[in-house]
Amino acid sequence: MSMVSLGGSARLVRSMPAGVVLSVVILILIVLMAIFAPLIAPHDPNTQNLLGRLKPPGTVVRNTLYLFGSDELGRDTLSRLIYGARVSLFVAVASVLLSGVSGCVIGMLAAFYRGWTETFIMRLVDIVLSVPAILLAIITVAVLGPGLLNVVLVLALTRWPRYARVAYGQTLTVANMPYLRLSRFMGAGWFRVLWRHVLPNIAGALIVVATLEFGLMVLFEAGLSFLGLGVQPPTASWGAMLSTGRNYVATAWWLSVTPGLALFLLVLSVNFIGDHLRDRLDPRSN
């Protein structure tokens, strides 16, 4: 049985394009880096060493190696990069889960009940989508205040309409299926109909949306932290590192290049995986 599973996994990997395989490897490495940050990071990300300020990559100061250089306070850039991955991944995963679950439920209810419920929900979706997401996020954070949990809440509140619209459209396509009408005729409640019959048929499209939204959440978190509205110092964040690095682009390029490259690799890998999932789960894209 295990040999069959291993053989199936090997065939699945061979069927994936090289770019997707590389993207999966990069994503796994970043996730492992975030999970085992205390074991991997060579130094405490918040420990300051004013004698080691703005040292280029590879510099050794008093038996301390700065492999990726140091920042304006003498903190190790590599350690802060590793711990910053925790913030980006946590915000992305939590906001995708919150916005995905809430948007999916709201969209399915709008398509299931129709009438004034459908009209109210979909007009609300149109209103939220008409406001630029980053602007809405900035305004909401300014009201609620910066912080890790507030960033997650803000991103969930601003991104649920996309899931709602996809869930609404997909639910309408299966609403008139014979098995669905039969289930309702037999007296099944709305929860059982949506959970047992509708959700399994629309899960593929929602998974694709969630995968693509994951990369956007990483960028939004970095953007808010860049503006000082995200995770607050001294907590390491890739966006905050970019904000600091912009003041030293000419003299300490590594402060902005390393977090920028990390963001690029993470978002690009997630987008590659999302495109592959779309091709596999959506027959109409083939």
Query: If pLDDT is split at 50, 70 and 90, which confidence band does 181 have?
Result: low
The model's pLDDT over 246-257, given as tens digits with 9 standing for 90+, comes to 888 888 899 999
234 falls within a domain: yes
Interval 131-154 mean pLDDT? 82
Interval 216-242 mean pLDDT? 88
pLDDT attached to residue 111: 85
Residue 189 has pLDDT above 80, yes or no: no
Higher pLDDT, 284 or 35: 35
Higher pLDDT, 178 or 52: 52
Query: If pLDDT is split at 50, 70 and 90, which confidence band does 3 have?
Result: very low
Interval 213-234 mean pLDDT? 87
22 falls within a domain: no
CATH value at residue 83: 1.10.3720.10
4 falls within a domain: no
12 falls within a domain: no
Number of independent structural domains in the chain? 1
pLDDT attached to residue 195: 75
Q: Percentage of the chain with pLDDT > 90?
A: 30
Higher pLDDT, 200 or 3: 200
Residue 286 has pLDDT above 60, yes or no: no
What six digits make up the tokens of 53? 């300020």
Q: What is the largest CA-CA distance in the chain?
A: 77
Residue 41 has pLDDT above 70, yes or no: yes
Which pTM value belongs to this model?
0.84
Residue 178 has pLDDT above 80, yes or no: no
Query: If pLDDT is split at 50, 70 and 90, which confidence band does 188 have?
Result: low
Average pLDDT, the chain: 83
Residue 213 has pLDDT above 70, yes or no: yes
pLDDT attached to residue 14: 56
Interval 216-234 mean pLDDT? 87
Backbone φ and ψ for 61, nearest 5 degrees, come out as: -125, 115
273 falls within a domain: yes
Query: If pLDDT is split at 50, 70 and 90, which confidence band does 203 have?
Result: confident
58 falls within a domain: yes
Interval 223-241 mean pLDDT? 86
Closest C-alpha to 37, from 90, 86, 91: 86
16 falls within a domain: no
223 falls within a domain: yes
Q: What size, in residues, is the chain?
A: 286
For 52, the domain range is: 43-285
